[in-house]
Amino acid sequence: MRFRITHLTKYSYAGAVSLTHNVVRMRPRNHDLQSCLWHELSVLPAPSNRNDGIDYFGNHTSYFSLQESHRQLAIAAHSEVDLT
């Protein structure tokens, strides 16, 4: 059985923020009964840099920073998962 999953997180700040550092874990994990077939992460405003990796526990991580003034941050994860 396949599922399409969308997760959206939005932050709105009272004033302008000039710098943020973020780590998110929004990609579904693979295991015996579940496979992540496709995943896309989008960040608005676009980050100055982004690095993807895997943490100590095997979770996929995305580190990114915003180095421009912004009042809102939106992080959207879209995935397709197959369950057996």
Tell me what the mean pLDDT of segment 23-39 comes to.
96
At 13 the pLDDT is 96
DSSP string, 34-49: EEEEEEEEEEESPPSE
Tell me what the mean pLDDT of segment 27-31 comes to.
95
Which domains occur in the chain, in start order? 2-83 (2.60.40.2250)
List, for residues 39-58, the tens digit of each pLDDT value.
999 999 999 999 999 999 99
Contact 79, 28 (CB under 8 A): yes
Q: What pTM was estimated for this model as a whole?
A: 0.89
